[in-house]
A and B are shown apart, each in its own frame.
Chain A
Amino acid sequence: MKVMAQVAMVMNLDKCIGCHTCSVTCKQTWTNRPGTEYVWFNNVETKPGAGYPRRYEDQEKWKGGWTLDRRGRLRLKAGGRLRKLLTLFHNPDMPSLDDFYEPWTYDYQSLTTAPLSDTFPSARPKSQLTGRDMRPVHGPNWDDDLAGAAEYAAADPNLRGLAERVRLEFEHTFMFYLPRICEHCLNPSCVASCPSGAMYKREEDGIVLVDEDRCRGWRFCVSGCPYKKVYFNHRTGKAEKCTFCYPRIEAGQPTICAETCVGRLRHLGVMLYDADAVLDAASVQDDKDLYEAQLSVFLDPHEDWVREAAARDGIAHDWIEAARRSPVYALIKEHRVALPLHPEYRTMPMVWYVPPLSPVADAVHATGYHDDDPDRIFAAIDALRIPVEYLANLFTAGDTAVVEGVLRKLTAMRGHMRAKQLGDPADRRLLERAGATADGVEDLYRLLAVAKYDERYVIPKTHAEGSGALMAQHCSLDRPGGVADLASHDEVDPAPPELPGLAAPGGGAHFRDSDGQVRFNLLGWNGSAPAPGLFGGTEGSAP
């Protein structure tokens, strides 16, 4: 057993309003540079929809993630190591820019320089790759809010097996938003696919990063990630990906996308897990067992033996304490309402989702019933196979029972809190049918509905005690008397001992300057006595 810590995220999809604020703030922070115009470390998709890049979830085509070989061993879906080296010159599984979209801007200048005319001037779209005129035909959220659903939503790979029953006409359809970032997987196939070994998972917090200095542009990480969350910078020729805003995480702050989330639906916290169990968990035979398998990898920080093992494996005390208060652990493991996105890719993703109740509630509402009536919703969960099966394709590799269980619990939570606030008697039967307790759903309610900033984000700071020595390396002010000379600022302590030979004749004074030389200070000098070291001199040359 090897205990490791991971900073993980849970998003509560019911609260996402699809405003794309997270995408925009992330872009302003990380990818507002030439070469990354088409890159969205955070993107928000409307589901059902084709996604970004289009149909990225179709792994039969893109070959991302892992799969089991005939002998049940975990293999990269895109093939073995030798095959990768032999196809270095052209990666057969690489998505093209058109699968993302060709980024464009507008020729705004023409608006101000156009000559006077009877018609309005217009700004033509220009490709940000070539600078030529272009016709935008796709964007990162082209099918937002089911726009063009007849064409795009039908292309959603999660509708497999449901296609003949899903009706995408306006009155019958359902939708919700799915904000996506890199999953910072426990078993990252991007890392495994990188021939250079430039990608790595950080031991301290599990963040998956690209070492830009060691990336050689072989672009196998791009195709290796099933979530298509590694991007190729077409100007620098290097791969880039979501950094989980590691400089902020190191400082104990939430990621930009979480910090700015309008719906306040993102939770960040520490998960402790057994790194030695990951491979076995990722190799279970049945896709539908992957959710439970991943749950079994997580360790309960409330158990004494786990805390002892964590301390033994070098996890700092404040990190273990943070793991106990982790909202992410509570949602994933205690309440079991958060689910992983596409566990069947076998990468063990670490950004989990509380599935939305809204598609079901909407459907009940459409039938004229009150969508707060738990009985109705329970009935609807059973009856409305389509949204549930769809959610199961997203979150549990098709296991509808798990999704149903979560939706029941969320419904029970709503019913219970509603009754409580109206002063109605608590309906014990409701909770029982969802397998929940009153305390449990009240805590869940607190987490999902009222948790404040420091309850949503429990992020311990990185231990960087050792890095101070490095920082001082180039600082020339840490000499005696310099800014970094703490003693010279300290008024309580006695003054530091006089440097040898620093009492100068003739009223002048000697001082040691920033490059360590002893110089003569003209201030207070009587003008006639000798002024040794006026033009600088080494320590030894001072009288």
Chain B
Amino acid sequence: MNSWDLWWWVILPYLALVTFVVGHIWRWRYDQFGWTSRSTQLQEGRLLKWGGPLFHYGAFAAIAGHVLGILVPESFTRRLGIPENTYRWFSSVGGTVAALAVLAGVAVLAFRRTTVPRVRATTSPVDWLALILLAVVIVLGVIPTLGINLFGAGYDYRRSVSLWFRGLFAGNPDVPAITHAPLIYQVHATAAWAILAVWPFTRLVHAWSLPLWYLWRPYVLYRRRVPAHPAEPGTGGRRWRRIGVRY
């Protein structure tokens, strides 16, 4: 392990994680007004009808898959008595379905973003960055899922990438495990932690606002008129700063 590896696989990922956490706290406190999905359905609906649900449902499945495959150690599934082959088969099929959905979804959304002028006009630079990183993560995540697991010999990421990733959280990342993984996994992992770093500054924050409360709250809400606190001195009355919005 040289210092480059240490920098790339330990220090930067931790910095990204810290940015992720601190960035979210900062954004939550200073930019409630910017905290939105920034829906573009008003501008364009026909492509979104397919792209939106395919991408999101695919992404949820993929995230669930990552939790299973990366955060749950191999010894745990073995202790549950799940044979290696069953696990492989399940992860391949499930992974393939999720991968195809996410891939199709992101393709439709990317096409829509770049070619529909109305949607393009509302996209800020940091949105572009997040979308490109997402596309990289997805494409490079799908290729191994489809190519290697289904058709190829199969590469056991649970003995390499997973060890490193879990180690990050345990405090002792296994750097050799990731440096010996195929390049495609390395780029995928890199783009993934890069996404974590930009996440709080993009529209991706909408993911934390899934409004589950809606399922049991009363339909009509009443609020008393509350006198607002006067603006902080020196802010000109703005309690928020806009991020990534060009306007």
A466-B227 contact, Cβ under 8 Å, with A91-B41, A197-B217? yes
8 Å CB contacts to B: which residues of A84-127?
84-85, 87-92, 94, 96-97
In the bound complex, do residue B121 and residue A462 qualify as a contact, i.e. CB atoms below 8 Å apart? no
How far apart are the CA atoms of A214 and B44 in the complex, in Å? 24
Instruction: Assess whether A473 is interfacial by the CB under 8 Å rule.
Output: yes
In the bound complex, do residue A81 and residue B215 qualify as a contact, i.e. CB atoms below 8 Å apart? yes
In the bound complex, do residue A90 and residue B225 qualify as a contact, i.e. CB atoms below 8 Å apart? no
In the bound complex, do residue B217 and residue A94 qualify as a contact, i.e. CB atoms below 8 Å apart? no
Chain B residues with CB under 8 A of A96: 41-45
A206: nearest chain-B partner, CB-CB: B222
Instruction: Assess whether B220 is interfacial by the CB under 8 Å rule.
Output: yes
Chain A residues with CB under 8 A of B39: 217-219, 232, 237
Instruction: Assess whether A82 is interfacial by the CB under 8 Å rule.
Output: yes
8 Å CB contacts to A: which residues of B189-247?
203, 206, 209-215, 217, 219-225, 227-230, 232-233, 245, 247
Instruction: Assess whether B122 is interfacial by the CB under 8 Å rule.
Output: yes
Instruction: Assess whether A172 is interfacial by the CB under 8 Å rule.
Output: no
Distance between B119 CB and nearest chain A CB, rounded to angstroms: 10
Beyond contacts A191-B221, A236-B36: 5 other A-B pairs, Cβ-Cβ < 8 A, are: A85-B211, A89-B52, A96-B41, A218-B211, A236-B33
Distance between B127 CB and nearest chain A CB, rounded to angstroms: 11
Instruction: Assess whether A421 is interfacial by the CB under 8 Å rule.
Output: no
B209: nearest chain-A partner, CB-CB: A216
Distance between B82 CB and nearest chain A CB, rounded to angstroms: 30
Distance between B226 CB and nearest chain A CB, rounded to angstroms: 9
Instruction: Assess whether A470 is interfacial by the CB under 8 Å rule.
Output: yes
The secondary structure that dominates the B interface is loop
In the bound complex, do residue B217 and residue A130 qualify as a contact, i.e. CB atoms below 8 Å apart? no
Contact digits for B37-67, partner A, Cβ 8 Å, 1 yes 0 no: 1111111110011001101110000000000
From A34, A129, A196, A214, B118 is in contact (CB under 8 Å) with: A129
Distance between A413 CB and nearest chain B CB, rounded to angstroms: 37
In the bound complex, do residue A462 and residue B56 qualify as a contact, i.e. CB atoms below 8 Å apart? no
In the bound complex, do residue A219 and residue B41 qualify as a contact, i.e. CB atoms below 8 Å apart? yes
In the bound complex, do residue A201 and residue B227 qualify as a contact, i.e. CB atoms below 8 Å apart? no
How far apart are the CA atoms of A218 and B222 in the complex, in Å? 20
In the bound complex, do residue B33 and residue A213 qualify as a contact, i.e. CB atoms below 8 Å apart? yes
Instruction: Select the residue from A97, A222, A250 with max chain B CB neighbours within 10 A.
Output: A97
Chain B residues with CB under 8 A of A90: 41, 45, 48-49, 52-53
3 shortest A-B CB distances, which residue pairs?
A: A467-B227, A237-B38, A217-B36
In the bound complex, do residue A204 and residue B221 qualify as a contact, i.e. CB atoms below 8 Å apart? no
A222: nearest chain-B partner, CB-CB: B42
In the bound complex, do residue B117 and residue A238 qualify as a contact, i.e. CB atoms below 8 Å apart? no
How far apart are the CA atoms of A34 and B242 in the complex, in Å? 15
How far apart are the CA atoms of A202 and B245 in the complex, in Å? 31
Instruction: Assess whether A71 is interfacial by the CB under 8 Å rule.
Output: no
Tally chain A residues at the interface, Cβ within 8 Å: 58
Instruction: Assess whether B114 is interfacial by the CB under 8 Å rule.
Output: no
Distance between B225 CB and nearest chain A CB, rounded to angstroms: 5
Chain A residues with CB under 8 A of B43: 96-97, 129, 234
B227: nearest chain-A partner, CB-CB: A467
Contact digits for A142-158, partner B, Cβ 8 Å, 1 yes 0 no: 00000000000000000
Chain B residues with CB under 8 A of A471: 227, 230
How far apart are the CA atoms of A528 and B106 in the complex, in Å? 82
Chain A residues with CB under 8 A of B247: 34-35, 235
Instruction: Assess whether A203 is interfacial by the CB under 8 Å rule.
Output: yes
How far apart are the CA atoms of A129 and B40 in the complex, in Å? 12
Instruction: Assess whether A131 is interfacial by the CB under 8 Å rule.
Output: yes
In the bound complex, do residue A473 and residue B229 qualify as a contact, i.e. CB atoms below 8 Å apart? yes
Chain B residues with CB under 8 A of A467: 227
How far apart are the CA atoms of A85 and B214 in the complex, in Å? 8
In the bound complex, do residue B121 and residue A191 qualify as a contact, i.e. CB atoms below 8 Å apart? no
Distance between B239 CB and nearest chain A CB, rounded to angstroms: 8
A235: nearest chain-B partner, CB-CB: B247
Instruction: Select the residue from B41, B120, B247 with max chain A CB neighbours within 10 A.
Output: B41
Interface size class, chain B: 35 or more
Chain A residues with CB under 8 A of B233: 474
A204-B225 contact, Cβ under 8 Å, with A82-B215, A214-B32, A218-B211? yes
Instruction: Assess whether B35 is interfacial by the CB under 8 Å rule.
Output: yes
Name B's A-contacting residues (CB within 8 A): 32-45, 48-49, 52-53, 55-57, 117-118, 120-122, 203, 206, 209-215, 217, 219-225, 227-230, 232-233, 245, 247
Distance between A412 CB and nearest chain B CB, rounded to angstroms: 39
Chain A residues with CB under 8 A of B38: 217, 237
A216-B37 contact, Cβ under 8 Å, with A90-B52, A97-B42, A131-B121? yes
B242: nearest chain-A partner, CB-CB: A236
How far apart are the CA atoms of A82 and B212 in the complex, in Å? 9
Chain B residues with CB under 8 A of A34: 247
Instruction: Assess whether A12 is interfacial by the CB under 8 Å rule.
Output: no
In the bound complex, do residue B222 and residue A200 qualify as a contact, i.e. CB atoms below 8 Å apart? yes
Instruction: Assess whether A199 is interfacial by the CB under 8 Å rule.
Output: yes
8 Å CB contacts to B: which residues of A198-226?
199-205, 212-219, 222
Chain A residues with CB under 8 A of B41: 90-91, 94, 96, 219
Chain B residues with CB under 8 A of A473: 229-230
Chain A residues with CB under 8 A of B32: 213-214
Instruction: Assess whether A420 is interfacial by the CB under 8 Å rule.
Output: no
In the bound complex, do residue A201 and residue B215 qualify as a contact, i.e. CB atoms below 8 Å apart? no
In the bound complex, do residue A89 and residue B56 qualify as a contact, i.e. CB atoms below 8 Å apart? yes
Chain A residues with CB under 8 A of B49: 90, 92
A211: nearest chain-B partner, CB-CB: B223
8 Å CB contacts to B: which residues of A324-343?
none
How far apart are the CA atoms of A91 and B44 in the complex, in Å? 12
Chain A residues with CB under 8 A of B122: 234-235
B40: nearest chain-A partner, CB-CB: A234
From B33, B55, B228, B229, A238 is in contact (CB under 8 Å) with: B33
From B118, B211, B222, A97 is in contact (CB under 8 Å) with: B118
Chain A residues with CB under 8 A of B210: 85, 88
In the bound complex, do residue A89 and residue B220 qualify as a contact, i.e. CB atoms below 8 Å apart? no
B117: nearest chain-A partner, CB-CB: A130
Distance between A341 CB and nearest chain B CB, rounded to angstroms: 20
Instruction: Assess whether A67 is interfacial by the CB under 8 Å rule.
Output: no
Chain B residues with CB under 8 A of A199: 221
Instruction: Assess whether A135 is interfacial by the CB under 8 Å rule.
Output: no
A90: nearest chain-B partner, CB-CB: B52
B49: nearest chain-A partner, CB-CB: A90
Instruction: Assess whether A461 is interfacial by the CB under 8 Å rule.
Output: no
Distance between B131 CB and nearest chain A CB, rounded to angstroms: 15
Distance between B166 CB and nearest chain A CB, rounded to angstroms: 31
Chain B residues with CB under 8 A of A474: 230, 232-233
In the bound complex, do residue B214 and residue A197 qualify as a contact, i.e. CB atoms below 8 Å apart? yes
How far apart are the CA atoms of A200 and B230 in the complex, in Å? 22
Pull 5 A–B residue pairs with CB atoms less than 8 Å apart, ordered by A.
A88-B56, A89-B53, A212-B33, A234-B40, A237-B39
